[in-house]
Structure 1
Amino acid sequence: MPKTCFDPAASMASAALSESTLSGPTMGTRWAVRYQAPPDFDHGALSRDLALTVESVDAQMSPWKPESGLMRLNRSEPGQWVALPADLLGVLARAVQIGALSGGAYDAAIGDLVNAWGFGAVRDAPDPAAIRRAAASHRPAHLWLDIDGERARARKRMPMTLDLCGIAKGYAVDRMAQVMDRHGVAHALAGLDGELRACGARADGRPWAVALESPQEGRRAAHGVIELVDLSVATSGDYRHWIRVGSERLAHTMDGRRAAPVRNPVASVTVLAASCMDADAWATALLVAGPGEGPALAQRMGLDALFLLRCEGRLTEIGLGRFAAHPCRARIAAATPAP
């Protein structure tokens, strides 16, 4: 891959643009954009459209808002078709596809497990009886959820509670990128809770540089730097959302195949993809798949993935695709000691 060279024309063009940031609350976290635009740009209109867009996604896909489309589907009886908005149907369809391609490592039907293990809307200690019920009744979404795109509807063929937290935030970032494009913004970095998408490069031609967080409990530090141009990145890990039960630390990501939280040496998985929705879902799938199955799955699917594994008190890396072959597009620092 050629090195980035100084471009006088690009430098002059970038001088006419100023960098701004916008952010706002959504989905229990915050959305944010950094972008470069001319001095007379209507920042207020962009901010309003971004806020409306992410709230629209949340209104359709929230597992906590009673009137969301997802919750209406969750309340429906098995076999009952439910009319749903096009955005939600598209995300459900992609969730089913990635669930099948990953052999169930990504599974949208983990809502009952999330609640039983204490990671739902009401955070609490794991409920052993609820865990047993959820495990006994669990059916993977890719086998028991039907999507009828032509008639804009979906149905469950078995009782299940769907949870799109492992894909909806990435989709919201993709929608944010569409908003930036409609407003004529060609140089931007959009993000929501760590899921990021670069819209083009910076105005001077340089890539957007983002930090890859080191998976250390209770400490925010950079493990390395990733450079993005027209590319999305998402990371799933065991270090930010977890609960402690006795001496055991349980991560929030559910392995539907085990009906339990992920429990393997993978500290985090980072995935590059054209769409942030895909990067989000595949990062979750590879984290669940673990240190053996995960890299094999990533290689089989042709994914650009970086695994950080805890091994004897240190972090070790497994890089595939661009993480291994193109360090100038995905520059990762040397491994650092793990806690």
Structure 2
Amino acid sequence: MKRILLCCLAICCIFAFTACAPAAQTGESFAMDTIITQTVYAKNDSVIGQNNQILRDIENKMSKTIPTSDIGRMNAQNTQDVEISDDTAQVLKTCVEHAALTDGAFDPALGGLMAAWGFGTQNAHIPGEAELEGLLAHTDYNAISAGVNEDGKAFANAGGTQVDLGGAGKGYALDRLAQNLTDNGVSSAILSLGGSIYAVGTKPDGSAYKIGIRDPSGSENDYMATLELDGKFVSTSGTYERGFTQDGTYYSHILDPKTGYPVKNELASVTVICPSGILSDIYSTALFVMGPEKGIAFAHGQGVDALFLTNDKQMIATDGFAEKYGLSITNKDYHG
């Protein structure tokens, strides 16, 4: 009788644990010009819906292609103060601050140049020299300002530039989604916004969340390595993300703010891992523009982890990168 009672208690305990365990929620959507995938283990079945609303709100505030957005109105007014949301003001300040910190390697004032190149559109082409020179004259991130007016409302001024938050927006969105997970008591999830990913906790079987690092010379489903992620953000900038070929030459969307042309160095991609989504996004672009030697030194100085992949399949990483994140090379053509 005692043995039967113990068995019944054990079964009841297993049932109670299973009933109370967070259920897997998955979702795929499109926002901020990228595919969003989410896997969240939560008791609240509305978390992914909340996340999608946060993403739509950010896009409506910060997309340069939406005329009514904060950025759309800033660019249209160009040299006049425009009332904006607190969110946009925060992102603008962070972008300008880190543009200065990276000596312009990251630049939120490249909207005009990006539009001239037409990346991702049917009008992609090499702009003329005169056009580039004219646009470069209006890419001073120091001209962008943001603050609070006498009524306590946030405002900003593009300062004659064309603002583009494409190099920071997805990272900021991940910061907001991660906070929403915390607010909902979620301790296990993985969120992917294109080249930016956040993972926290472990899978139900106790294994780590593994992130694939794309092989720049392969297709979108080809990975050169995997790494393990828990409680941090990872962003990758690569030449393969967006670009076009003209007269046999490929032109990547990652522009050198000093020349207005796509960056020309030995790099194919840069992956950055740190505790901040927006900074992982910003730094992945900045370190790509800097190149491996200067980029490694900068990453060490800021205390972030980075992995550089060169066109000839060399790996260059910050100290201890492989050990920290369980880096596993799946394409043996890469070496470091």
TM range (shorter): 0.7 to 0.9
Q: Which protein shows a greater Rg?
A: 2
Q: Secondary structure at the match of 1:263?
A: coil
Cα offset for 1:201?
Answer: 3.4
Cα offset for 1:51?
Answer: 1.4
Partner of 1:275: 276
Partner of 1:5: none
Cα offset for 1:283?
Answer: 0.2
**What is the letter of the counterpart of residue 106 of structure 1?**
F
Name stretches of at least 5 consecutive residues in structure 2 with no aligned partner.
Answer: 1-15
**What is the letter of the counterpart of residue 135 of structure 2?**
A
**What is the letter of the counterpart of residue 36 of structure 1?**
Y
Q: 2:321 aligns with which of 318, 323, 334?
A: 323
2:228/2:327 contact within 8 Å kept:
yes
Q: C-alpha separation between the residues in 2 aligned to 1:154 and 1:219?
A: 38
- In the TM superposition, 1:52-91 aligns within 5 A as 52-78=53-79, 80-91=80-91
Cα offset for 1:217?
Answer: 4.8
Partner of 1:3: none
Q: Structure 1 residues 120 and 274 mapped into 2: Cα distance closer, same or farther (>3 Å)?
A: same
Q: C-alpha separation between the residues in 2 aligned to 1:127 and 1:194?
A: 27
Partner of 2:289: 288
Cα offset for 1:123?
Answer: 3.8
- The answer to whether 1:153 aligns with 2:159 is no
Deviations 1:92-121 (A, max 9, x none): 111111111111000000011101112266
Cα offset for 1:194?
Answer: 2.5
Partner of 1:22: 27
Cα offset for 1:57?
Answer: 0.6
1:207/1:229 contact within 8 Å kept:
yes
Aligned residues: 314
- TM score, norm. by length of structure 1: 0.85
2:62/2:71 contact within 8 Å kept:
yes
Q: Structure 1 residues 291 and 306 mapped into 2: Cα distance closer, same or farther (>3 Å)?
A: same
1:26/1:54 contact within 8 Å kept:
yes
- In the TM superposition, 1:289-308 aligns within 5 A as 289-308=290-309
Cα offset for 1:22?
Answer: 1.4
Cα offset for 1:304?
Answer: 0.5
Partner of 2:109: 109
- In the TM superposition, 1:208-247 aligns within 5 A as 208-218=209-219, 220-247=221-248
**What is the letter of the counterpart of residue 186 of structure 1?**
S
Q: C-alpha separation between the residues in 2 aligned to 1:221 and 1:166?
A: 24
Q: C-alpha separation between the residues in 1 aligned to 2:245 and 2:99?
A: 28
Cα offset for 1:287?
Answer: 0.7
**What is the letter of the counterpart of residue 327 of structure 2?**
R
- In the TM superposition, 1:89-238 aligns within 5 A as 89-119=89-119, 123-128=123-128, 129-135=130-136, 137-141=137-141, 143-149=142-148, 151-157=153-159, 159-203=160-204, 205-218=206-219, 220-238=221-239
Cα offset for 1:65?
Answer: 0.8
Deviations 1:17-49 (A, max 9, x none): 443311211122221211223xxx342x22321
Q: Structure 1 residues 200 and 321 mapped into 2: Cα distance closer, same or farther (>3 Å)?
A: farther
Q: C-alpha separation between the residues in 1 aligned to 2:52 and 2:94?
A: 24
Q: Secondary structure at the match of 2:234?
A: strand
Cα offset for 1:205?
Answer: 4.6
1:14/1:203 contact within 8 Å kept:
no
After superposing on structure 2, the runs of 4+ consecutive aligned residues of structure 1 that deviate more than 4 Å are 12-15
2:105/2:257 contact within 8 Å kept:
yes
Cα offset for 1:292?
Answer: 2.9
Q: C-alpha separation between the residues in 1 aligned to 2:120 and 2:240?
A: 17
Q: Secondary structure at the match of 1:254?
A: coil
1:264/1:291 contact within 8 Å kept:
no
Q: Structure 1 residues 174 and 123 mapped into 2: Cα distance closer, same or farther (>3 Å)?
A: farther
**What is the letter of the counterpart of residue 192 of structure 1?**
L
**What is the letter of the counterpart of residue 19 of structure 1?**
A
Cα offset for 1:301?
Answer: 2.0
1:309/1:316 contact within 8 Å kept:
yes
Q: C-alpha separation between the residues in 1 aligned to 2:266 and 2:221?
A: 20
1:190/1:198 contact within 8 Å kept:
yes
1:30/1:192 contact within 8 Å kept:
yes
Q: Secondary structure at the match of 2:165?
A: coil
Name stretches of at least 5 consecutive residues in structure 1 with no aligned partner.
Answer: 1-11
